[in-house]
Amino acid sequence: MEFKSRLKEYQELVNQELEKYIRKQKCPEEIWNSSMEYSLMAGGKRLRPILVIATYQLFKNNIEICMPYAVAIEMVHNFSLIHDDMPCVDNDDFRHGKLTNHKKYNEATALLAGDGLLNNAYIVISQDLQNTKTKDITKKIQIFTEFSQAIDRMIAGEYIDTEYEGKKISEEYLEYIHKNKTGALLTLCVRMGAILADCEKEDLESLTKYAEKIGLAFQIKDDILSEEGNEKVLGKPVGNDKKMGKCTYVSKYGLQKAKDILSQITKEAIDEISKYGEKAEFLKELALYIQNRNK
Amino acid sequence: MEFKSRLKEYQELVNQELEKYIRKQKCPEEIWNSSMEYSLMAGGKRLRPILVIATYQLFKNNIEICMPYAVAIEMVHNFSLIHDDMPCVDNDDFRHGKLTNHKKYNEATALLAGDGLLNNAYIVISQDLQNTKTKDITKKIQIFTEFSQAIDRMIAGEYIDTEYEGKKISEEYLEYIHKNKTGALLTLCVRMGAILADCEKEDLESLTKYAEKIGLAFQIKDDILSEEGNEKVLGKPVGNDKKMGKCTYVSKYGLQKAKDILSQITKEAIDEISKYGEKAEFLKELALYIQNRNK
């Protein structure tokens, strides 16, 4: 119960922060702005920004330092969802129980809303760089570099996932998709929080391992939910992966083996951060939440 | 003749530089990389990177300083072309006399190739920031900010252009489209070259005006070519704007008035840089080239 209420607190914090970045002015491009806002505020779990903040809090409390990066990563996540949902990729009509962007508006608007959100993430980063004191510039530039490279890996993973839809796939390529499509961004979140908080090199290493493991767990769980989840709870159709012949952990290993791998990976993730004790309680619970979530 | 050979030299310089940034390694995402390369190297005029370099050369000669930004802006330009050509926007089959990205590959690949090129532009900028000496960091961060904001304006302009296709449009909105869709990026190019070369404030102001005027001229000329250009020379169909009921300078003012405005704006652009004399010869000729080009 404590975890759930803390999660909700974090989600509200992130939502409030996102609201600050939404452009409300009347202008020619008002609908374009609305379409970006529509997807950004459609009620996602905010897992990525929360990872940034919670990791930062392992070391420091002044979370305003990491908020621009929490916002930027949520923009990127929503850019990828909008484009992935489009008819030429996954062709999904619903997301978080609401119409997908191209269904609510139209395909051209969804295309440009996705482009706009990706680019707006970089606007946020550039503005933060402009407000940064000289002594912190180097670490912010490192984050900007890791940010852009993680997005490259995410798009590459999405490309391979799309390319191999309905085709036989090697174990190597399945792992490639999971590591890049979901894992790269989740790892980036944890690393951004840790680097912004000036953590030690060993901390960055163990937190990176934690992130890579929950990233993999997240993807395996997604595959399991897509096979046996509850449509109403998920807010999107179940069984699409199977119908489309999509390569997943479930299609590759079977449902039970996929669940066993998920448990093992979650345990390993938690081991990586056990040295932080009480302070890492939320991150531990978050790993278990990823394992046990039903949406 | 001298201008043409200098233009060609510049184009070759840009093409060589772009080649350095293309990923050649065999990897799962090889086709995604190829699709980005396909559009990037499909033979555009390289007007944007050339503007960066030629403006830089008004003040300094060590052009390696501005090359990453020349590359980044050409990546962004090609991202916008790939997405604009897609069926849900302009639905064009040819570009520079070759199949458009989604026709050569498929829509999903084109979508992700566009996303990838936009993001790769930021990878290039972040890497340049990492290699920048402390004393130059402030100006590079200013450029990064202007870069991200200009792209925002470009996408906004594209959105309005798409939204009003086939609809009556006010003069205000037509101007909005031209200023943002094409103008923002061309102005950015000139400003990046000028700022990187540490020019004076007054130089930046007059060069910005020059850029805004050639940006407008470029768009008016595009509208004229789309009405009366030669299909074989252009490498794309003529008359599409009219057929689609698209708002253009030609549909708004008629062909002759559009040509008169084009001449006037070009003259004004040249006046802005006359104070640089011989040094600005190429930029003057470039303004005339934009006015007189047949593709």
Domain ranges, ordered by start, for chain B:
2-292
**Cα–Cα dist A266/B238, whole Å:** 59
Q: At B1, is the pLDDT very low, low, confident or very high (cuts 50, 70, 90)?
A: low
**How large is the average pLDDT for residues A196-209?**
98
Return the CATH fold of B2-292. Farnesyl Diphosphate Synthase (1.10.600)
Tell me, yes or no, if B22 comes closer than 8 A to chain A by beta carbon: no
Provide the pLDDT for residue B166. 76
Tokens at B131, concatenated: 């290699």
To the nearest whole Å, the CA of A202 is away from the closest chain B CA by 23
Please give the ipTM for the structure prediction: 0.93
Q: In this prediction, what percent of chain B has a pLDDT beyond 70?
A: 97
Q: What is the DSSP string of B61-84?
A: S-GGGTHHHHHHHHHHHHHHHHHH
- In residues, how long is chain A? 295
Provide the pLDDT for residue A132. 96
Q: What are the beta bridge partners of residue A98?
A: A95
Q: Which of residues 152-171 of B touch A (CB under 8 A)?
A: 152, 155-156, 158-160, 162-163
The more confidently predicted of residues A294 and A85 is A85
Q: At A1, is the pLDDT very low, low, confident or very high (cuts 50, 70, 90)?
A: low
CATH architecture of A2-206: Orthogonal Bundle (1.10)
Residue that has been written with the tokens 């912190």 in this structure: A136
Nearest to A126 by CA among B151, B186, B121, B147: B147
Contacts of B129 (CB under 8 A, 6+ apart): A141, A144, A145, B137, B140, B141, B144
Evaluate if residue B238 carries a pLDDT over 80: no
The secondary structure element, H or E, covering residue B226 is helix B201-228
Residue that has been written with the tokens 């060590």 in this structure: B62
**Cα–Cα dist A249/A42, whole Å:** 28
Residue A165 neighbours by CB distance under 10 Å: 16
Evaluate if residue B175 carries a pLDDT over 70: yes
- For residue B51, the SS3 value is helix
To the nearest whole Å, the CA of B117 is away from the closest chain A CA by 9
Provide the pLDDT for residue A175. 85
Tokens at B57, concatenated: 């050369």
* φ, ψ of residue A193 in degrees (nearest 5): -60, -45
A160-164, A193-197, A283-287, B65-69, range with the lowest pLDDT: A160-164
- What amino acid is encoded at A106 in this protein? N
Tell me, yes or no, if B136 comes closer than 8 A to chain A by beta carbon: no
Q: Is B46 left (phi over 0), alpha (psi -120 to 50) or beta?
A: left
**Cα–Cα dist B209/B191, whole Å:** 10
Residues in B closer than 8 angstroms to A167, CB to CB, are: none
**Cα–Cα dist B207/B56, whole Å:** 11
Provide the pLDDT for residue B60. 98
Provide the pLDDT for residue A134. 93
